[in-house]
Amino acid sequence: MGGGPTTADLVVAVAQAGGLGFLAAGYKSVEAMSAEIANVREGAGAGFGVNVFVPQPRADPVVVEQYVETLAADAARLDTRLGEASWDDDSFDAKVEYLLADPVPIVSFTFGCPDRDVVEALQHVGTPVAITVTSPSEAVIAAAAGADCLCVQGTEAGAHQGTFVNADAPGQDFGLLALLSEVSRVCDLPMIAAGGIGGPRGMDAVLAAGAVVAQAGTAFLRCPESGTNPTYRAALTDPRYTVTAMTRAFSGRRARGLLNQFMVDHADAPAAYPEINNATRPLRAAAAAEGDADRMSLWAGQAFRSAVDRPAGEVVELLTRGVHS
């Protein structure tokens, strides 16, 4: 989980409980990513992977500027400035190069399909590759690129959707169970199920639907090992927030979070990632520091009410209760 919630401690705790924890390389420098890898290696053994963002095309600067202008009042209210609405590739090539030179147990990609040569290069150094897909057609593309397995992400999932294209395609929101079923019709790669899994019944359901393993994010947000900031953490149990919704307001890419005022006020945000994410970064940071949960991203999946304030090892145990390997 990029943006803070995933820490080295969280990954180690999950691994020690028999799970597979993913370090978030997204939004980090190569140096920060490599430091985290070094931090988890000993404690997590083979129970960790690294998640990498695939670069996005540049957005229309005029559209970005028009949207960023609408955020001025929020910035003024927080007595902060907006960041530069710049494009970046999240150091994709350098991260892949590092992961080739110092291989990790598994690498997953999101926000697109890496080129086949990237997939093959990682496999060549002994690293299996997972690619996040949100539709059957993306699964076909990921299989053609040589993925070893798919992270099948339903619309219930917290935070960003891993869709290959940042667009408003009608019918793109697949519920996880339907998606598992449809993906298994078009390709036979092992499926990691993600989205809205809040307890052992959710685990049972996705395994019954053909997944080999389940992935949870939101369930770990309240763990003491997670880096979820206090304002965000408090919002997860605040009775004011009753539902989650999909928004581009904070980042310019569709992501699910607790429905707050910023999402309501900026419902027409354009598709422009990472430009909008970079522009709102200081605003989100100021809101978090001020305790203003209505102006920060509160990424969470639909099952957020199931997240508990318990150590990560206990959450793994709770999720897998009754599941036999």
Q: Which is nearer to ligand FMN, 114 or 217 (CB)?
A: 217
Query: Rounded to the nearest 10 degrees, how much is the dihedral formed by the CA atoms of 287, 290, 292, 297?
Result: 30
**Least distance to ligand FMN from the beta carbon of 244, Å?**
9
> Which residue has 């699964």 as its token pair?
139
Q: Which is nearer to ligand FMN, 68 or 252 (CB)?
A: 252
Whole-angstrom distance, CA of residue 112 vs CA of residue 97:
18
Q: Which residues bind ligand FMN (CB under 6 A)?
A: 1-3, 5, 24, 26, 51, 110, 132, 153, 156-159, 162, 194-197, 215-219, 299, 301, 303
Q: Which is nearer to ligand FMN, 12 or 52 (CB)?
A: 52
**Least distance to ligand FMN from the beta carbon of 45, Å?**
21
> Which residue has 């960790």 as its token pair?
48
Q: Please state, in angstroms and as integers, the Cα–Cα distance from residue 300 to each residue in 56, 60, 139, following that order.
A: 23, 29, 24
Q: Residue 167, Cβ neighbours under 10 Å: how many?
A: 9
**Least distance to ligand FMN from the beta carbon of 76, Å?**
27
Instruction: Provide DSSP, 123-146.
Output: HHTT--EEEEESSHHHHHHHHHTT
Q: Which is nearer to ligand FMN, 68 or 236 (CB)?
A: 236
Q: Which is nearer to ligand FMN, 213 or 216 (CB)?
A: 216
Whole-angstrom distance, CA of residue 102 vs CA of residue 64:
37
**Least distance to ligand FMN from the beta carbon of 304, Å?**
8
Pairing of strands 191-194, 107-110: unpaired
Tell me if 11 sits within 8 A of 40, measured CB to CB.
Answer: yes
Q: Which is nearer to ligand FMN, 68 or 155 (CB)?
A: 155
